[in-house]
Structure 1
Amino acid sequence: MSRTAALSSFIESTPPGELADVTKAIKSILDDSSVASELAPAFEKYNESQFTTTKLPGGSGEVLVSEYNRLGDGRYYDVESQSSFEFDHASGKASGVQSYVLDSGLGDLVKSLVKSLGTHASEHYPKSSLGVYPIEDDSQLAIVTVASKYSPSNFWNGRWRSSYIFNPSSGSLTGSIKVDVHYYEDGNVRLLTNKDVSLSVGANAGATEIVRQIANAEKKYQEDLNKAFGSLSEGAFKSLRRQLPITRQKIEWEKVASYRLGQDIGGGRGR
């Protein structure tokens, strides 16, 4: 494996909210501040797949960066603000904002979906960004939601991503829901989940019905995750360690210095 490929794999597997830290560590280990240019393709792939968000200069909300709203030459567009912007994948900053009017035969449905999806997201996610983009020569729509929450002072970061492709002709709605959570206080634990979704909402379905189906799928997945966490804490996690030492008695930690390892803790007989 080449150096570039190895370093790119680190970038692409970076937990949410930690790209700057990983990049800083790579530069420090290699003692090479110019490595960012070598990793430019990896930064782009990471930001687009993670649905990275950025604030537009002078804007109040955050907009998405993804393969679906890519214009080329490092530029992306946002339907709601009717603007396009240049995005620096290394720094995560937007610039060069210009007016952009979506030219699509599905324009009315796009606007309705943005509104309905915004209502759904505001009800279920504390902070989120979303986008609806025509793809495949204006024959389908990509519907994207991302919600991130970072708490580095408490050693955890997390991100929810959901993306769907809606085909107005067939009424099919397919996509996936992904959850990525990293906890790293006195250890390194990461949760990565991927739930495939395949629904039929009917040909020429309206925005309300499409978002209703999305909301039901996401609610069910959240409930499934909660049940799985409960089962883990009561089952698998408990079996990872013995609740009591082999003596079947709790250790008196204030007296631990006076224990004789083999006899008192291990239950062996003295000689």
Structure 2
Amino acid sequence: MVTKSETVSSFVQAAPPGELSNVVEDIKALAPSEVRSLEPAFKKYNEEQYTTVKVSGSSQTVIVSSYNVLDDGRYFDTASQTSFEVDHSSQTALSAQSHTLDSRNADAIQSLLKAFSAAATEHFPSSTVGVYPTDSDSSIAILLVANKYSPQNFWNGRWRSTYLFDPSSKSVSGTVKVDVHYYEDGNVRMSTSKKVEASSSSVEGIVREIAKAENKFQEELNRAFSTLAEGSFKGLRRQLPVTRQRVEWEKIAGYRLGQDIGGGRSKS
């Protein structure tokens, strides 16, 4: 049987991009006694969603993920050569200190970081990149997250890229995930993904192949949205009610059944 704590934790995991704080407020209102037990759920959410934090001494945001967590629970950033703690509930970095990258692929990691960061700057209005050695040190994890929050327009979105690069075979494989939530006068959420595989003899070539695959995915999404807008979405509901007249929803509370909607005279 699912416990109350597990149910509440599932709410955290399902939080749309940029809306974790809203979900927490809902939990505080519905199950205040469970808030203290949510630290593991916050940690999992932050690592899976590639939450970004600002580390003291670094001008850029850095990613929180399972790929850059250390044995003591701290996280590290290869660009700034620092490690840091994370307060997962507030999504803030603490206690930054120097951290030297220890990997046989250190040179490749720095080259990938430079090339992938440049490509991300070209293709995304704002994004955060992380490049890390995997636990076995046999491959390199390349991560990217780009967030766009527009609560004043009732939508938020997140793009996440995860790639594993094999230095020996010069090949890369991974997944791009897109999560968008639109909630004006309704609640619509799109979550989709695309697998990517590529190879090249150089780091620059690998990054070009990744950029090409991501551009293609973006174009596919654009075409899909156009098709939905012109077809499927329009078929979900009538363009006009059966009266063939548009309903003035702001006046709906003042309508009298039979007179205003049906056009007839109401009975006194």
Q: TM-score, normalised by structure 1?
A: 0.88
DSSP 3-state at the match of 1:187: coil
CA contact (8 A) 1:155 1:184 kept: yes
Report the identity percentage. Answer: 51
Q: Distance in 2 between matches of 1:100 and 1:113?
A: 19
**CA contact 1:51–1:161 (8 Å) conserved in 2:** yes
Give the drift of 1:197: 1.6
Distance 2:261 2:83 in 1: 73
Confirm whether residue 131 of structure 1 aligns to residue 134 of structure 2.
Answer: no
Distance 2:169 2:206 in 1: 13
Which stretch of the first structure deviates more once superposed, 207-216 or 255-264? 255-264
1:55 correspondence with 2:51:
no
Deviation at 1:258, TM superposition (A): 8.4
Q: Residues 17 and 158 of structure 2 are in contact (CA less than 8 Å); yes or no, is this contact kept in structure 1? A: yes
- Counterpart of 1:243 in structure 2: which amino acid? Q
Q: Distance in 2 between matches of 1:258 and 1:42?
A: 50
Q: For the residues of structure 1 that align with 2:262 and 2:13, how far apart are their CA atoms? A: 50
Identify the residue that residue 197 of structure 1 maps to in structure 2. 196
Give the equivalent residue in structure 2 for 1:269: none
Find runs of 4+ consecutive structure 1 residues off by over 6 angstroms: none
Report deviation, 1:173.
Answer: 1.3
Alignment partner, residue 68 of structure 2: 69
Amino acid of the structure 1 residue aligned with 2:104 = G
SS in 2 for 1:85: strand
Structure 2: how far apart are the matches of 1:97 and 1:263? 65
Aligned to 1:225: 221
2:74 paired with 1:81:
no
Stretch deviating more after TM superposition (166-175 or 41-50): 166-175
Output aligned runs, 1:1-271, within 5 Å: 1-32=2-33, 35-199=34-198, 201-202=199-200, 205-246=201-242, 249-251=244-246, 260=258
Query: In the aligned structure 1, how far is the partner of 2:149 from the partner of 2:256?
Result: 44
> Does 106-115 or 20-29 show the bigger shift?
20-29
CA distance 1:244–1:70, change in 2 (3 Å): same
Amino acid at match of 1:3: K
- Report the aligned-residue RMSD: 2.4
1:226 partner letter: N
- The alpha-carbon distance between structure 1 residues 252 and 180, as it changes in their structure 2 partners (threshold 3 A), is closer
Q: CA deviation at 1:172?
A: 2.7
In structure 2, how many angstroms separate the alpha carbons of the residues matched to 1:29 and 1:244? 38
Name stretches of at least 5 consecutive residues in structure 1 with no aligned partner.
267-271
C-alpha distance in 2, partners of 1:236/1:126?
30
Q: 1:252 to 1:220 in 2, by over 3 A?
A: closer
Residue 60 of structure 1 deviates from its aligned partner by: 2.3
Residue pair 2:120, 2:127 contacting (<8 A) in 1 also: yes
Count of equivalent residues:
260
